[in-house]
Amino acid sequence: MAATKTRVSSFSRNVPATLAPQIPGVKTGPNGTAFVSSGIPDLDRIVGGGFPLGSLVMVMEDPEAPHHMLLLRNFMSQGLVHNQPLLYASTANDPKGFLGTLPSPVTSRADKLSHDDEPVEEKGLRIAWQYKKYFGGSQQILNSQGAMENKHEYGNDFDVRKPLQRQFITGQKVECISLQDCPDLSALRDRCATFLAQFPRKDGSISSVGRIAIQSFCVPECSYFNREWHMLSFIKALRSMIRSSNAVTVVTFLPSVLSPSFSKRWQHMTDMLFSVLAIPDEDKDLAELLTGYQDMVGLLNIHKVARINTQVPVILEATTFSLKLRKRKYLALESLNQAPVDGSSGTSYSTSGSCSSTTSSKPGSLDF
């Protein structure tokens, strides 16, 4: 036990400094957790480092928009770039085809630095309702110049217009499963178990890290669609397997095609919960309300952030973010820059912004 390590709070676990991992792509965090990047640097920053090893991440899809694919693709690409084995399951007949759509990481420095453009100077006085977002800009520039090497190793930006180089995909690192071949989920569970056996978690250093990505787990095309208890027990088994291994799983599912009670059960089962929302097109009201509406692809809501080994909850400043493609290439998350609206016609909200939002598709949390 390192005697000089300062305790952050009385609930934090003391981790000796020698436990720092040697492998790229893994970062240690407080309380003995280790993180891997989600593939989206903005998301890593928002949730406090990345996805913790041993956690189950779920993304609730919107039936009207395919934005969950953006998150999934970045997650998978990040793992492949860091040489982390990947298990991918989807309902397509040939899941390998999806690997061709994975984005490739950005390597040049120039591209990265030009992200942090100065906000356009406007004439006249602007009242900044959300002033904190203007602070972040200068700090980011400093960070990226100083700690460039670290950033490049841990979390990359991905260019969605360039496909991932073949060298990352070929090789023994990627396994694909088609969910249509699994009439019974036990076959899928066995595959996951054998995959996860490669990354057992023992006290000591982390030798290798794996990622599992399951796309659209409960869609009607699957033969197990009507067997909701089956699907739930699969998720439970997966979660327990994940906990005892050095891996992260991302599962996307569609809550509207499940019964409401099962949808809730799934949401409770997971460690991290996001939902993506489609935005209306050519909506003049929304264009007035939000700056940057034209570039927005969709909305991302963060409902739950994984807290492993700690009792301290994380309270996010904002839980709704807009998904944008900067320069049409890089996926970025931005907090909403919203103009105030006449509140006399709306209902009064009594809950304050927190992670525990209510139902799947319509968040009810405030966002100041």
- Binding residues (CB under 8 A) for another protein: these are 63-67, 127, 219-220, 254, 256-259, 277-283, 285-286, 289-290, 297-299, 320, 336, 338-344, 346-349, 362-363, 365-368
Q: How many CB atoms lie within 10 A of CB 362?
A: 10
- Give the whole-angstrom CA distance, residue 96 versus residue 88: 9
Q: Which is nearer to another protein, 124 or 340 (CB)?
A: 340
Q: Strand, helix or coil at 155?
A: coil
Q: Which is nearer to another protein, 203 or 281 (CB)?
A: 281
DSSP for residue 20: -
Residue 343 in tokens: 């509140």
Contact call for residues 137 and 128 (beta carbons, < 8 A): no
Q: How far is the CB of 187 from another protein (least distance, A)?
A: 23
Strands ordered across the beta sheet of 34-36 = 26-28, 34-36, 51-52
Q: How far is the CB of 220 from another protein (least distance, A)?
A: 5
Q: How far is the CB of 24 from another protein (least distance, A)?
A: 33
Single-letter amino acid code for the residue at 153? E
Alpha carbon of 318 to those of 28, 234, 300, 355: distances in Å? 25, 32, 11, 9
Pairing of strands 272-277, 34-36: unpaired
Q: How far is the CB of 327 from another protein (least distance, A)?
A: 16
Q: How far is the CB of 262 from another protein (least distance, A)?
A: 10
Q: How far is the CB of 146 from another protein (least distance, A)?
A: 35
Q: How far is the first Cα of the chain from the last one, in angstroms, to the nearest whole number?
A: 42
- Give the whole-angstrom CA distance, residue 241 versus residue 247: 9
- Give the whole-angstrom CA distance, residue 66 versus residue 194: 30
Q: Which is nearer to another protein, 110 or 339 (CB)?
A: 339
Q: Which is nearer to another protein, 241 or 290 (CB)?
A: 290
Q: How far is the CB of 244 from another protein (least distance, A)?
A: 34
Alpha carbon of 199 to those of 96, 207, 261: distances in Å? 23, 8, 33
Q: Nearest-CA neighbor of 78 among 126, 114, 27, 120?
A: 27
Q: How many CB atoms lie within 10 A of CB 150?
A: 13
Q: Which is nearer to another protein, 67 or 112 (CB)?
A: 67
Report the sign of the C-alpha dihedral through residues 343, 348, 354, 359, in that order: negative
Q: Which is nearer to another protein, 65 or 314 (CB)?
A: 65
Q: Which is nearer to another protein, 204 or 346 (CB)?
A: 346
Q: How many residues can be counted in the chain?
A: 368
Q: Which is nearer to another protein, 289 or 314 (CB)?
A: 289
Q: How far is the CB of 130 from another protein (least distance, A)?
A: 10
Which helix (H) or strand (E) covers residue 36, if one does?
Answer: strand 34-36
- Give the whole-angstrom CA distance, residue 283 versus residue 293: 9
Q: How far is the CB of 71 from another protein (least distance, A)?
A: 13
Q: Which is nearer to another protein, 203 or 285 (CB)?
A: 285
